[in-house]
């Protein structure tokens, strides 16, 4: 295991070079092979990571907890609402103290635009151990790394000329974070994919992430397009990634946001839309998907779907990030 990334924070994929992302993916692939063959890989024996959550989680929490155990270490789960953070303990104190107790800090803080990423960076400024972003308001770098791994498993490492559609779809459950689509447009534009983003007019992404995506596309020599309908996004797509997200200005007004979203109930990924994609296209979703709203059962359970392969890769990429940085 190389020490090239030892001690590095992993807060946004944009802050790691293409070569460093490739190293993470190669490491994840190696760890996945060892996992399936039952080969022990205790690369972080006796090391501790603190998992600090400001939001609910299934895949993220369990991929990190299972992952550090398989690497020979241990995870401490911290619910922010039952810790002294709820009484106002500062990011500075949290970073200094937790990093003195262990070897890494991972944080999920994704529900309020303008808060999560800033909080992580303040913790990282004062921590002496690496800080890993388990999802913030701007990026979900653990998810998108697993997404890229899944796409490469399907199509190989040369992705130039392939089209991915990142599309908003309706969900009645809650105003979901913007970080997954933002993370996708920032990362996929660096690795050869032509990216088409589709959303209703109110569901624009953060301007800084859009700018990064445009600059990445220009440097990579690929296309980055924005459209206002699902048909243009899905037509001839090799990969589709339709999911819901909220409106940046309405995250503190969830009732208003959900009421507005009802205008767009027709934005659903169904068999008709999949029929205009490439013959061997794949359907992706970070999960959980709102079945019957974001996507039909026929699609998510159908032949195009790779969501469970994608979800499993969350384990292997989480392990790779920890193994490389801790």
Domain boundaries, the chain: 13-140+315-325, 143-310
pLDDT at 168 (0 to 100):
98
pLDDT value at residue 123: 98
Rounded Cα distance, 281 and 233, in Å: 13
Min mean pLDDT across 35-39, 172-176, 205-209, 295-299 is at 172-176
At residue 163 the predicted structure's pLDDT band, cuts being 50, 70 and 90, is: very high
Q: What is the pLDDT of residues 89-124, one digit of tens each?
A: 999 999 999 999 999 999 999 999 999 999 999 999
Angle between helix 91-101 and 116-126 (nearest 10): 50
Q: Whole-angstrom Cα distance, residue 173 to residue 110?
A: 16
What size, in residues, is the chain? Answer: 326
Residue 1 has pLDDT above 90, yes or no: no
Per-residue pLDDT at 236 exceeds 90: yes
- List the CATH code of the domain at 13-140+315-325: 3.40.50.1370
Average pLDDT, the chain: 97
Alpha helix ranges (H) inside the chain: 18-37, 59-70, 91-101, 116-126, 141-155, 179-188, 207-220, 230-234, 254-261, 271-274, 297-300, 307-325
pLDDT at 318: 98
Rg (CA), the chain: 19
**Does this chain's domain 13-140+315-325 share its CATH topology with 143-310?**
yes
- What is 143-310's CATH number? 3.40.50.1370
Burial of 2 (0-12, 13-18, 19+ CB in 10 A): exposed
Whether the CB-CB separation of 315 and 63 falls below 8 Å is answered with yes
Does the pLDDT of residue 316 top 90, yes or no?
Answer: yes
Diameter of the chain measured on Cα atoms: 55
**Nearest 10 degrees: Cα torsion 235, 193, 135, 172:** 0
Model confidence at 21: pLDDT above 90 = yes
Averaged pLDDT, 22-38: 98
pLDDT confidence bin for 199, thresholds 50/70/90: very high
pTM of the predicted protein model: 0.98
């Amino acid at each position: 295991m190389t020490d090239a990334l030892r001690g590095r924070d992993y807060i946004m994929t944009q802050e790691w070079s293409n070569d460093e992302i490739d190293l993470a993916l190669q490491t994840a692939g190696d760890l996945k092979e060892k996992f399936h063959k039952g080969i022990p890989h205790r690369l972080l024996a006796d090391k501790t990571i603190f998992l600090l959550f400001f939001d609910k989680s299934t895949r993220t929490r369990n991929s990190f907890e299972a992952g550090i155990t398989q690497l020979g270490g241990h995870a401490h789960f911290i619910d922010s609402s039952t810790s002294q953070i709820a009484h106002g303990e500062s990011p500075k104190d949290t970073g200094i103290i937790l990093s003195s107790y262990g070897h890494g800090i991972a944080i999920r803080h994704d529900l309020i635009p303008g808060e999560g990423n800033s909080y992580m960076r303040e913790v990282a400024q004062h921590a002496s151990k690496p800080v890993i972003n388990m999802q913030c308001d701007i990026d979900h770098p653990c998810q998108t790394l697993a997404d890229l791994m899944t796409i490469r498993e399907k199509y190989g490492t040369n992705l130039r000329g392939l089209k991915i559609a990142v599309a908003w779809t309706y969900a009645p459950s809650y105003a979901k974070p913007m970080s997954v689509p933002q993370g996708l447009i920032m990362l996929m534009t660096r690795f050869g994919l032509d990216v088409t983003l589709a959303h209703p007019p109110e569901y624009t992404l953060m301007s800084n992430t859009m700018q990064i995506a445009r600059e990445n596309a220009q440097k990579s020599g690929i296309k980055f397009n924005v459209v206002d309908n699902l048909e243009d996004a899905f037509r001839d797509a090799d990969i589709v990634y339709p999911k819901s997200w909220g409106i940046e200005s309405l995250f503190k007004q969830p009732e208003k946001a959900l009421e507005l979203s009802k205008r767009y109930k027709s934005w659903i990924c169904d068999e008709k839309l999949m029929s205009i994609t490439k013959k061997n296209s794949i359907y992706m979703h970070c999960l959980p998907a709102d079945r019957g709203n974001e996507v039909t059962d026929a699609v998510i359970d159908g032949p195009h779907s790779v969501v469970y392969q994608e979800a499993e890769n969350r384990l292997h990429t989480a392990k790779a990030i920890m193994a490389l940085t801790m």
